[in-house]
Amino acid sequence: MRIRRRNNLLVEPPSSATGDIAFNLVVFFLVCASVQPEKGIRLTIPSSETVEDKSQQSKHVEILLTRQTVALDGSFIDVDQLLPALEAKLRGKTREEDRVVVVKSSPDTPAHRWIRAVNAIKQARGVVTIQVEEERIVTIPE
């Protein structure tokens, strides 16, 4: 009698956890793709101080922002031209106090114009300083 032996050399690994493994991988890749770091511009704004003497302010570069316009030291300029103009103004100034750029803006200036102006100052390695008009109540004697 010939005895036939079963050849059980083909062994299949248990595949019951394959679905879970695939699900985990899908979740990991979805999470990695959805978490996008937010880029931006880092600014160090000096803490505020009251300056009475306006002659000291006139030494610094001034940018005036309004709803429609941008002016650099009194000259109207396109916001895209601000960076090369600032680099020219700040060239040769090595001290930090000489690289101060004062930003004045009208109350209705849109934020995107302000951000682009401040970004240009930062790229020109200037020091961003915001000038805010202070309201004073003056009592007039009768």
46 in contact with another protein (CB under 8 A): yes
Chain center to CA of 68 = 22
130 in contact with another protein (CB under 8 A): yes
84 in contact with another protein (CB under 8 A): no
Q: Which CB atom, from 45 or from 88, has the smaller least distance to another protein?
A: 45
Taking a C-beta distance cutoff of 8 angstroms, is the pair 104, 132 a contact? no
In this structure, what token pair is assigned to residue 141?
Answer: 């004697």
106 in contact with another protein (CB under 8 A): yes
Among 25, 29, 41, 81, binds another protein (CB under 8 A): 41
Instruction: State the chain's maximal CA–CA distance in angstroms.
Output: 134
Nearest approach in angstroms of CB 92 to another protein is 23
Taking a C-beta distance cutoff of 8 angstroms, is the pair 136, 94 a contact? no
76 in contact with another protein (CB under 8 A): no
The Cα–Cα gap between 77 and 16 comes to: 69
The Cα–Cα gap between 98 and 90 comes to: 8
42 in contact with another protein (CB under 8 A): yes
The Cα–Cα gap between 72 and 104 comes to: 10
112 in contact with another protein (CB under 8 A): yes
Which residues make up the interface to another protein (CB under 8 A)?
A: 16-17, 20, 23-24, 27, 31, 37-48, 65, 105-112, 114-116, 118-119, 123, 130, 132
